[in-house]
Chains A and B, each alone.
Chain A
Amino acid sequence: MILKPDNLKIICKNEIQAGESLEIELSSNKIHEDLLIVYTQMSGSYVFPVESKKIITDTFLTRKSGKLNIRLLAGPHLLDTQEINILPNMGTGKIESYIGPKSILTTTNEPSMLVAIPADEFDNPVTEGTISDFSYIRPNYSKELHQIRMEKLTNHHTFFAQTKTGKTLAGVQCDNGFSDEKYVDEEAGWPLQISLETLPQDLQADGKHYVEIKTKKITDKLGNNVKDGTIVTFSISDKKQINQYSSVTINGVAKIDFKYPTVNKKYEVIAFCGNVKSNSMSLTFISEINDFDIKYDQVNMNLVIGPVTGTLNQFVPDGSEFKIGVSQASKKKIEITSPAQDGMIEVDLKELFLDKKPTIISVKYAGKTTLRQIFIK
């Protein structure tokens, strides 16, 4: 049975700084062996036996700001209770700060928020009402400073997108503490319209080169280039099929490289971004090659075609497929395909078991057919 000692009180300060040593004195020298002191703070209670009239509270219990409740117990009896207010210290070091959303649209004047939690060396948020400086450098290089009061453990400030795109840099200072630099991308809104750059016409259908198809600068309604990486889809169609190619904008321009066909073609080109559609432009490829020789080697029964060159005297691309037809009277026409190498095409006729009589050779390439009669001996 633990008896309740009378008139034993706790004597201590009402307020201390975080991390400060707390000295507690009991009102009597009669220290009961079952006396306990109970500290209740943020995470719960901690109990220690009372060994002397003066108690030096371990600083780990005074590091956290807020109320610290102290009770003096004699076994199950509560003798006295005190509440200490532990004040946070001045903000030092790095201030924890958060910014978001990380990108905002200029066209809709979207908001973003910078939140900061200045804290002291024991990670206590600074005293309520403490003022912090919220500084910004906006995309138009204007500077802003807002003084924000600490309220319910946080300082926060809402800012809105301006008309110019770019980064808004933000930082917070409180007492001797500074936050990391944070930034928000102020981005253009949806494109207002898309236009295609004028395309070259009557290109050589040589299957070798690439034509660059690109948009003009795509901007939002405020004239800002759309955000880099905005996806633009190019639709390239001829009479038979539609092909789509995706690209992304860089500095407001999206482009693709389109390989020349090997035959005469006319394409319609349109670019899309979301629901916004560009004008339609045509792209024409014309096949033009110079006349070429077709020689027959009687000894080796070898057909040598070429050199096949374009209008600029360039060889047709290696691998360009030539369709060669071999026809003899009273025999079915034989068609073989052979690739070009350095503008030359060679065909071995031995394996075709041709009759020894006049034979017509047809060479078809890039929509052009060349005929020649040879004599198989």
Chain B
Amino acid sequence: MEEDKNKGWLIFIGIGTAFFFLLFLFVISSAYAYFNSGASQKDIFLEAEKGISDHTPKFNWIDNGNEGRVMENYAKKRIMEDYSNAWYYQNIAHHEKWSENAAMFFTEEKIEYFNNIGKKKSNVRIERTDLEHNIDFHLYSLDGQIVSFTDSSVYIVEKIKEKNGKFEFVKKYKATYDVVMIYRDDNWKVRHMVPRGFQDVSEQALSLKPAKSNMPIHSVKGMNYYPQYSPWKMWAEFSADTIRKDFDIINSLGLNTVRIFIPFEIYGKGHVSQVHLDNLDTLINIARQNKLQVIPTLFDFVNNYHLSNWAASDRQLESIIEKIKHYPNILAWDIKNEPDLDFKNHGEKDVKHWLEFIIERTRMYDPERPVTIGWSSPEVAFNFQEELDFITFHFYRPAKELNYAIDLLRIKCPNKDFMLGEFGMSSYNSFWFPFGKTKKEQRKYYEDIFDVLQEQGGISYLAWTLYDFQDIPSKVVGILPWHKSPQKSYGVINQEGMEKPVAEIIGGNKFEKTRITLFDRILKPFNLFILSLFFICGIIFLWTRKKYSKKEEPIHNMTVKQQ
């Protein structure tokens, strides 16, 4: 009887264990499947469809008049939107498939034709986008139901990619189309679209003009700027008073330039926020009042270099440049902050194609101003040397490495002006942080950097940064405390608003060289902490040794006695 009872328990435990094992296996496999399966084709397509609002190509209207009804502004706007949407669906259909929603912007006859074409398979992927349209209306029917126009010099970029990455062919061309659209089911739909010619513009060289800034690049002494209490949130928490006060400080430090950052998404991508544009205008104006030149760094935190994002990038670029280019204190356009850091995640080719396009468009919108890119290191700064007016790179490594890095860069780019767009040293110190530097060491670092820049013929510089910050957003440096904490202390002015020793020399003023003594190197919280630990450990060691040696003494005496 007792044996039967035990058997029952054993069976119960066995089944229970098997059940838990299976449950565990199910959970693990589900989690594995979840993290390893990519988005389905449908998901990708739905995601692509969401991007329709970001597709904002440039529209120019050639106002030659048209036959029929006088074109109303609202109708023009509506035609533009629906025509742009039609292009968007046509573009994504190349690398995805035709959507049912495309029927909103094409008549049935066109959809049927496209569907037939879509069935042709190929191992080559084609991506395409349209960036600029020039519309000349010919006919707008009296009842406002039909419109015919020529869309000339449509700027199209096409990438032909072998699916295994064997090659990639990029073509930029301008095409002209005669188009008929019909207003049906509350939308303007493309009824006919006849290509009249294609002009390859891939090889058109960018027209480089000499920089026409009102200050020579080599005389720039400046600062990368964020306000103390809203770094990286400057536009969301914009305060003209704060900027006025800070620019006054920057001026009083003996600096003549500020580099600011314009975040792509916060500014509204292709639909640029008027509020932000007005704030930007205010900032440039305040800088002018403080006799400061400004280098706006465009496209901060861009996370999409795909062709589908080019039109939005172009719209933002145009909005910003057109808004502020009339200010004489715009020194240069910095296209992008450290784009080389995106090479790995976004693909070097895609990032470079995007940069090339933005350089080209920046020159188109403002042919007068110099253009540069803020590369993350001198080693990558040779990229686009022909297309850029001067070369900007960032440097946070030991000062002694700078000379060699610049020499190397000069070999690759012999005829270009250089700018040290970001450099600096954190004066962060803590008992748990072994690499902490003192404020004195920070000043010494600046002196050493300035010596190299002087030795290299007077390279201009922009320091990082004005203030020690209280908080750094995690999206900038991540959440790890040994990354985040030092980032807070790169400022020339500490969190309490007091100038650090480096403030004396940042404007290039000559002072007696700082000497870092052995004491300066040793007397740091981490070192003192380690020393204290050694000291305490030493005392403990000595104490225990003494204690044990006292206990052993009688045994020794006994041994002696036996002898």
Contacts and interface: CB of A to CB of B under 8 A. Distances in A.
A156 B194 contact: no
Contact of A158 (B128, B142, B145, B178): B142
A49 B124 CA distance: 9
Contacts of A49: 123
B141 A98 contact: yes
B145 A154 contact: no
Interface in A153-209: 153-154, 156, 158
B253 to A, nearest CB: 50
Contacts of A47: 122, 124, 126, 160
A76 interface: yes
Most buried by A among B90, B120, B194: B194
B195 A42 contact: yes
Contact of B146 (A46, A75, A98): A98
A112 B141 CA distance: 9
B141 A153 contact: no
Interface in A75-102: 75-76, 78, 81, 83, 98, 100-102
Most buried by A among B91, B114, B139, B150: B139
Interface stretch (B161-169, B209-217, B418-426, B524-532): B161-169
Nearest to B169: A76
B195 A117 contact: no
Secondary structure at chain A's binding surface: helix, strand, loop or mixed? strand
A154 B146 contact: yes
A45 B158 contact: yes
A41 B195 contact: yes
A312 B226 CA distance: 104
Given A47-B160, A66-B195, A153 B178 contact: yes
A45 B195 contact: no
A66 B194 contact: yes
A73 interface: yes
Contacts of A68: 195
B67 interface: yes
A101 B141 CA distance: 9
A34 B167 contact: yes
A48 interface: yes
Nearest to B176: A67
B237 interface: no
B117 A73 contact: no
B463 to A, nearest CB: 42
A36 B124 contact: yes
Nearest to B126: A45
Interface string A38-72: 10111111111100000000101001111111010
Contacts of A46: 117, 120, 122, 126
B153 to A, nearest CB: 14
Given A156-B68, A156-B139, A115 B146 contact: yes
A261 interface: no
Interface string B442-481: 0000000000000000000000000000000000000000
Contacts of B123: 49
A152 B178 CA distance: 6
A154 B122 contact: no
B138 A152 contact: yes
Given A42-B195, A45-B160, A151-B138, A76 B145 contact: no
B200 interface: yes
A119 B171 CA distance: 32
A111 interface: yes
B408 to A, nearest CB: 27
Contacts of A102: 143
A124 interface: yes
A43 B124 contact: no
B194 A65 contact: yes
B133 interface: no
Given A45-B128, A69-B198, A125-B180, A153 B143 contact: no
A346 interface: no
Contact of A43 (B114, B122, B171): B114
Contact of B180 (A64, A66, A111, A117): A117
Interface string B124-159: 101010000000001101111110111000000010
A73 B195 contact: no
Interface string B186-222: 0000011111111010000000000000000000000
A102 B198 CA distance: 40
B160 A73 contact: yes
B197 A38 contact: no
B380 to A, nearest CB: 22
Contact of B142 (A34, A78, A100): A100
13 contacts: A34-B167, A40-B173, A40-B198, A41-B195, A45-B160, A47-B122, A47-B126, A60-B120, A66-B194, A76-B167, A100-B145, A156-B68, A156-B139
Interface of B: 67-68, 90-91, 93-94, 109, 113-114, 116-117, 120, 122-124, 126, 128, 138-139, 141-146, 148-150, 158, 160, 162, 166-169, 171, 173, 177-180, 182, 191-198, 200
Given A123-B109, A124-B192, 8 more contacts: A46-B120, A49-B123, A64-B194, A78-B171, A83-B198, A112-B143, A113-B141, A125-B180
